[in-house]
Amino acid sequence: MRWRYLDLEKRRVQVRQVKRKRFSHGCSDPRECAKTRHRATCAAACVNHARYCPERQGGEWEFRPPKGGKTRWSVIPEPLIPQLKAQKAAQSVERLAAGDQWEDWDLVFAGSTGRPISPRRDWAEFKAMLKSAGLRDARPHDARHTAATLLLEQGVDIRVVQEILGHSSLAVTKRYTHVTSKLAEDAAAKMAKALWA
């Protein structure tokens, strides 16, 4: 997420797609690279996937509009606004401390020199957070499923959930949501009220 896509006054963020450009082999012959530099399991991976090549090139981050090219805004929950403002202030301190080492990527969450945080670090921190909270192991992407289910449990219409998650079809959103016993009980209570009240 970049600061330029945030509007803290209107409590909204412009949704962008962030992708890493493909790596290309830096060595002249990927098969030879696999034989000489990588043994056993890495060898086949190096031939097929340039990201394993020790002399790889490319892999820069790319920020672009979401699929379909449509500009999409998402509302930021009110309690996050002070936290985002505190993050901006903390980042200004980091920028001063880094001095000439700072690379201005305009990222809301960045490393100590302004560069993107490693996906591995982000993954490890997510796993550590789950463990310390006593929650089951999950992928960061699973948080989207949890968010969709929690929104439904709060009575948010599924079409609104679809908009929040940015799905083009309701069928995709339905795959993301999980009917909980609370939702089933609420539905039964509403049916009872409609038919027998």
pLDDT 10s digits, 28-67: 665 666 555 444 444 444 555 666 666 777 777 777 766 6
Looking at residue 177, what is its pLDDT? 79
pLDDT score recorded for residue 113: 94
Q: Please list, residue by residue across 120-156, b when 16 or more beta carbons sit within 10 angstroms of its beta carbon and e when fewer do.
A: eeeeeeeeeebeeeeeeeeeeeeeebeebbebbeeee
Beta carbons of 80 and 7 less than 8 angstroms apart: no
End-to-end CA distance of the chain: 49
What integer is the mean pLDDT of 73-87? 93
Give the confidence band of 12 by pLDDT, cuts at 50, 70, 90. Answer: very high
179 vs 2, more confident:
2
Neighbours of 173 (CB within 10 A): 21
Q: What is the pLDDT of residues 82-134, one digit of tens each?
A: 999 999 999 999 999 999 999 999 999 999 999 988 878 888 999 999 999 99
Report field, pTM of the whole predicted structure over 0.75: no
pLDDT at 39: 45
Question: Alpha-carbon distance 189 to 155, whole Å?
Answer: 14
pLDDT band at 3 (very low <50, low <70, confident <90, very high): very high
pLDDT at 144 over 80: yes
Q: How confident is the model at residue 189 (pLDDT cuts 50, 70, 90)?
A: confident
For residue 157, is it left (φ>0), alpha (ψ between -120 and 50) or beta? beta
